[in-house]
Chains A and B, each alone.
Chain A
Amino acid sequence: MSEKIMPESEKITPIREKILANIRVQRYTPGKDKSPYFDNFKMEVETGMTILEVLRHIKNTQDSSLTFRAFCRSAICGSCAVKVNSDSVLACSTQLMPILKDFGKGSVTITPMSNMPIIRDLVVDIDPVIEKLAKMHPYLVENRERVPKALEQESLMSQKELEKFNVMTDCILCAACYSACSSVKTDSNYAGPLTIVKAYRYSADPRDNFSSMRIQAAMDQGLWSCVQCRKCIKVCPKDIRPADSIRNMRQISIEVGIHDTPGSRRARAYTDDVENFGQVNKPMLPVIVNGTKGWAAIEAAEAGLKKHGMEPTRQVCTLPGQKVTAKIYAKVREIEAKEKNQGENKV
């Protein structure tokens, strides 16, 4: 083998910075600690280090009782989701150096995910999430018009049909969206983004035959509770846009004729009112959405207005712009009909 000596200038010298950092980690062991507290670990952080490497370094060299989950360390298993400076992220795919530099403080705070009970330190109990998921019928139930019984044949499905739900199959059940969800925060019975993603994934699969059961399951678990704050979209490490799936699932539920839910009544009221009046009939919305229960809310609102010397009204006036909005509606319907026709022709 030749031992050619290369000129010094061609030698590869990677730039690897080192910073002495303060890693602030929330700790809590039930039965031992009364409440969560923070530990500060000092360590040298090198370019390339992920949050997970830092946690492992601390566990291996400073405190072997530091408890967190990790498995694949390549962002496909979803074990290591934690909060870093309050954002839900995967520890394994989050570089620390840019964070330390961004804040210029050489410090970072790592806490467990929210909306789930803490088991220990950074480990939270995801079983409640899995239980909600299991109720969604998150599996394919064969549509026998599409799926052959014999193993000698495949079901035929176009790439276009696949693309309808393909991105949702990227979900790794890390629960970062669940941690960030503002609806779960206020209502712990709400199913949470990822479970509806899975429900929608199968409902959009042409090989499946169980959509109606899944819609019912989603409604039972608060399909209309989502406020579309889109935090789930922001935190999802796989960019699967859970809030979009929730919206799509709602749309399916309306399309199959389920109009007797508060959410679908609200959606209907908004679209119809804007077409008819150019604005939403807000004073009457509580009754339209919630039925007779809504009167209490209306009366309370009216009492409030009167107190401030204003005369409440239950009428909605038609705005001058209504004609324009009605035209937009007509145009949208025209385009939708056209697209539908084209779609049918293609099939």
Chain B
Amino acid sequence: MLTYDVLIVGSGGAGLYAALESRMEEDVQVAVLTKVYPTRSHTGAAQGGVNAALANVDSTDSWEEHWFDTVKGSDYLADQDSAELLCREAPQVIREMEHWGCPFDRTKEGKIAQRPFGGASKTRACYAADKIGHVMLHTLYEQGLRHGVDYFNEWVTLSLLHNGQRCLGVNALDARTGKLHTIQAKAVILATGGYGRIYWNRTSNAYGNTGDGTAIAYRAGLPLKDMEFVQFHPTGLRRTGILMSEGARGEGAYLLNGWGERFMTRYAPEKMELGPRDLISRAIETEVRQGRGGPEDEVFLDLTHLGAKRIMERLPQIRQLCIDFEGVDPIEEPIPIKPTAHYSMGGIHTDINGLTSIEGIYAAGEAGCVSVHGANRLGGNSLLDILVFGRRAGVHALEYARKTDFLPMPKNVLKMAQSCINGLMEGDSKESLADIRRDMANLMADKAGIYRDETGLTEAVNKLEELKERYKKLRVQDKSKVFNTELVAGLELGNMLDLAEIVVKGALSRQESRGAHYREDFQYRDDDNWLKHTIATKGTDGKPVLSFKPVTITNFQPEARTY
């Protein structure tokens, strides 16, 4: 049996930072388990920047202002003590990344450069051209190589093992060989990213952002928090959901419906295309629902009036994205777009050290929920979250691993994992998993996406039960042990169905609109009744049980969130 002091599941920024931090003194054995290769994790897709009040560009910036922006952006659902830590420690983690070689762009003085970002009161986002996530991910991976972190690439984690009080390890599948393994660990850090793929093709997320760690934790009895909050970005490409950055609208792009109307006149006559993300997403959704979308329920981002010269000069990368991924040249024709699920605010409930309710089990990054993003994440704070809380989880897990011993592993722990796989291989249905997945995604986009109401959400609860029944009978057609991607997709679908159910139930129970959660039947924020976190735990009947936890307010009393 493989044995590690600290085992990290997931290889994005949070996982790699945690791994590096716990391996820094090279006195404990640390491994990263990842279903891809570390440098392929979705952290790499982050383009814009990472917030830290370094005050390199605007000398008046301070971590306190960053703190306020974060709390306000969260629509006051963030725990203010956690958000304080996030902003206080930001300059340190950014400098640590810099010391490890991360190639941030530079100011004239040779310091880390910063750029303005939506929702931020000061110029605060540190960046590296349009590839900040990519260079952070590679820097962390490479330093991990230097310090002797072990990487298990293309291993799929199946279940989390604990004895009710303490961590034991995980079960995992080596996708290359099809073999199942138990890995014993004193501490396990779950850092598997978000669950945006419950909307399948209507997400900017990678194929693998299926919330594996979150679902595994839930099935192991750990509570999840604020799962109903999923941030949508208004402008994803029609076919793939790949983001068209706000830069295009900043340059003067029009949003047109299928009739060629600049429809934002109806929703934000002054700000027009530069209104806040959530408002634009809802405007697009309304146009489409009222039959004014394009041939495939898209709307259009039109740059043609800017002219070839300006597009080539100012938006060359956006143009290339459209050509490569959509086959459309924005100089010639409008870009078809749809709102796209972008970020999962909810996740595994943890304290400020990433610790869950079980000793030795941690979560960090988008998989976890401390909570610093509350109901709506501020741009530039997702990369910061993975650094600050990846690091904290790594430090804490290291201390824990140093002072504890391995627990004896009970026999037959692989049995459950084996039967789960066998179940998928031997179902009796002729249905393909792609069909179930597509139906789940359409249901989630229609009933639990940008617009939500009681009727739709109730319908979604029932439909999800049907989908889960269909899933139980699913039969994976590919019988090969070697690199069975259909089996992996089957496992992921199981995870997504579990999480979709929790998202829908949380959304149904929360009778208010806050941040990314918009209820047509409760259109306003209700601090008297809903200034609280939703906690979901797996009940004895296998269904989620909801409870609530007050928000920690230390410094900022809730105000209206206007920009």
Complex interface bits, A49-80 against B, C-beta within 8 A gives 1, otherwise 0: 11001000001110011011011111111110
Interface SS majority for chain B: loop
Task: Determine the chain B residues whose CB is within 8 A of the CB of A4 once the complex forms.
Answer: 261
Which residues on B sit within 8 Å (CB–CB) of A205? 101, 103
A224 within 8 A of B: no
In the bound complex, do residue B260 and residue A12 qualify as a contact, i.e. CB atoms below 8 Å apart? yes
Which residue on B lies nearest to A121, using beta carbons? B483
A10 touches B259 (CB 8 A): yes
Identify which of residues 217-257 in chain A touch chain B, using a CB-to-CB cut-off of 8 Å. Answer: none
Is B194 an interface position by the 8 A CB rule?
Answer: no
- Within the assembled complex, what's the spacing in Å between the Cα atoms of A266 and B296? 62
CB contact between A151 and one of B95, B105, B143, B300 (< 8 Å): that residue = B95
Contact across chains for A30 and B482 when beta carbons are under 8 A apart: yes
- Smallest CB separation, A208 vs chain B (Å): 7
Distance between Cα atoms of A170 and B44 in the complex (Å): 11
A148 and B110 contacting across the interface, CB-CB below 8 Å: no
**Residue of chain A at shortest CB distance from B323:** A95
Q: In the complex, what distance in Å separates the CA atom of A141 from the CA atom of B96? A: 13
Is B307 engaged at the interface, CB distance under 8 Å to the other chain? no
* Contact assessment for A147 and B99 in the assembled complex, using a CB-CB cutoff below 8 Å: yes
Tell yes or no: A202 within 8 A of B by CB.
Answer: yes
- Given A60-B432, A97-B327, check contact A154 B266 (CB 8 Å): no
Contact A74-B480, Cβ < 8 Å, known A12-B300, A154-B98: no
A13 within 8 A of B: yes
Per-position binary interface string of chain A over residues 200-213, scored 1 when its CB falls under 8 Å from any chain B CB and 0 otherwise: 00100101100000
Partner of A157, one of B44, B106, B433: B106
Pairwise interchain contact B105-A159, C-beta atoms closer than 8 A: yes
Total interface residues in chain B, CB < 8 Å = 79
The answer to whether the Cβ of A269 comes within 8 Å of any Cβ in the partner chain is no
- Cβ of A158 within 8 Å of any chain B Cβ, yes or no, is yes
A47 smallest CB distance to B (angstroms):
5
Query: In the complex, which residues of chain A have a beta carbon less than 8 angstroms from the beta carbon of B484?
Result: 67
Residues of B within 8 A of A137 (CB): 146
A147 — nearest CB in chain B belongs to which residue? Answer: B99
In chain B, residues 223-242, which have Cβ atoms closer than 8 Å to a Cβ of chain A? 238-240, 242
Min CB–CB distance A329 → chain B (angstroms): 36
The answer, among A29, A48, A166, A208, for a CB contact under 8 Å with B480, is: A29
For B178-219 the 0/1 string (1 means CB < 8 A from A) is 000000000000000000000000000011100000000000
A60-B432, A79-B36 as given contacts; A140 in contact with B134, CB under 8 Å: no
Tell me whether A53 and B239 are in contact (CB under 8 A). Answer: yes
Interface-facing stretch out of B328-336, B502-510, B514-522: B328-336
Instruction: Establish whether residues B432 and A49, one from each chain, have CB atoms under 8 Å apart when the complex forms.
Output: no
Please name all residues of chain A whose beta carbon is closer than 8 Å to the beta carbon of B367 when the two chains form the complex.
none
Q: What chain B residues lie within 8 Å of A59 (beta carbons)? A: 434, 485-486
What chain A residues lie within 8 Å of B106 (beta carbons)? Answer: 157-159, 162
Q: A14-B336, A153-B95, A162-B106 are known contacts. Are A73 and B207 too (CB-CB below 8 A)?
A: yes
Given known A77-B206, A148-B99, contact A170–B40 (CB-CB < 8 A): no
Question: CB within 8 Å of A: which of B296-350?
Answer: 300, 321, 323-328, 333-334, 336
Contact of A12 among B143, B239, B256 (CB under 8 A): B256
Interface flags for B465-484 (1: CB within 8 Å of A; 0: not) read 00000000000111010111
Q: Is the CB of A72 within 8 A of B325?
A: no
In the bound complex, what is the Cα–Cα distance between A65 and B433 (angstroms)?
A: 12
Q: Could you list some 18 contacts between A and B, CB below 8 A?
A: A5-B259, A10-B259, A12-B260, A14-B333, A48-B238, A48-B327, A60-B432, A71-B208, A73-B206, A74-B321, A79-B40, A95-B323, A130-B153, A140-B101, A151-B96, A153-B95, A202-B101, A205-B103
What 6 new A-B contacts, CB under 8 Å, besides A74-B325, A158-B106?
A16-B295, A50-B324, A53-B240, A72-B207, A75-B324, A151-B92
